[in-house]
Structure 1
């Protein structure tokens, strides 16, 4: 796959996330994928990641990510800064978070690992 194809896969992941399409998002992950978020912890396996995402989208039913630019970080990896906005259903409070996301892909274009970091101060 080319660098541009990996960028398009990352864009697709963000678009499906903004559409809250958990069924199609799950299909993007390798079965043994891992996910680490500085905000929400570490998850191993596509089923665990899907369960976490289901809970997350329930907690933030109007969540949306804004991404201005996608960059190839290294071979088969894409990174992007994001702004996440949403309402925490448990408190009715508006939430805005900034971060840097790295998506690592398998050679056939499935997500192998996601790492979400808090922005540096």
Structure 2
């Protein structure tokens, strides 16, 4: 042993705290509101998954980024409003949101409510996102 802890060893003994997880989720939402795919791409692990009740399932960072690029083209002014973030089991953060924007294909103003769960790995990278429609 060389006297240094490997990152994975450190992560196993020092899991992220709730504040850090919430800050990671807030950072993702901020970059999403900026439509900043150049920075968003670094937030995901290569084999991340994205499940959306609105848009389907996507496997892998590349597929997720294509979906996001298409989404931002369709909703060029998309904005997410989040009131409160909550930590959940499994290094996750959950939040309700309201997404507003104009659908470029129809010119219609859209307002969508949803519940999003983001799960992070021990390095703080997104490994899974699930977006559900609100229960009515």
Q: Does the alignment reach a TM-score above 0.5?
A: yes
Partner Cα distance (2:38, 2:99) in 1: 21
Partner Cα distance (1:64, 1:91) in 2: 18
Determine which structure has the larger strand proportion and give its number: 1
Match of 1:63 in 2: 78
Q: Give the CA deviation at 1:73.
A: 1.1
Partner Cα distance (1:47, 1:28) in 2: 12
Q: Count how many residue pairs are aligned between Structure 1 and Structure 2.
A: 121
Partner Cα distance (1:58, 1:31) in 2: 23
Match of 2:11 in 1: none
Q: Which moved more, 1:69-78 or 1:39-48?
A: 69-78
Q: Report runs of 4+ in structure 1 exceeding 6 Å deviation.
A: none
Match of 1:36 in 2: 51
Unaligned runs of 5+ in 1: none
Partner Cα distance (2:17, 2:88) in 1: 13
Q: Give the CA deviation at 1:3.
A: 1.3
Match of 2:97 in 1: 82
The DSSP-based 3-state class of the residue aligned with 2:105 is coil
What is the aligned-residue RMSD (CA, Å)? Answer: 0.5
- Rg: which structure is higher? 2
